A = this chain, B = another copy of it.
Amino acid sequence: MKEEAVIAALGALAQDTRLRILCYLVTMGSAGAAAGDISKEVGASASRTSFHLSTLSDAGLINATRASRSIIYRVNFEAMGSIIRYLVHDCCKNDPRVTSCC
């Protein structure tokens, strides 16, 4: 994974509303959640939620698919794995104090 992509992903996660959105979408698994439901869940306005969802989406951490009037968002677990792999392998050179996390 390129450093640039890692920085975009870390920046996307480094915000409380977005981190909560991501954690919520993890719990929803493959079912995902509609933008409106996410908005209610994290207590943010529709436009603010939409903005944060596009930030997460631009960073590749979530995917969007339209289902009728709703847009369903799901976590991209492979992308999450990639950035963690970058931090553990490339950045921390597999130091045991870091790899002990898994």
**Cβ of A93 under 8 Å from chain B:** yes
* Minimum C-beta distance from A102 to chain B (A): 3
- How far apart are the CA atoms of A38 and B16 in the complex, in Å? 31
Chain A positions 59 through 95: 1 when the CB is less than 8 Å from some CB of chain B, otherwise 0: 0000000000000000101101100110111111101
How many copies of this protein are present in the complex?
2
- What is the interface size of chain A, counting residues whose CB is below 8 A from a CB of the partner? 37
- How far apart are the CA atoms of A26 and B87 in the complex, in Å? 11
Q: Summarize A's interface: helix, strand, loop or mixed.
A: helix
Contacts A10-B10, A10-B19 known; list 12 others, CB within 8 Å.
A6-B19, A7-B13, A10-B11, A11-B15, A23-B90, A23-B91, A26-B92, A27-B93, A80-B92, A80-B97, A84-B88, A102-B102
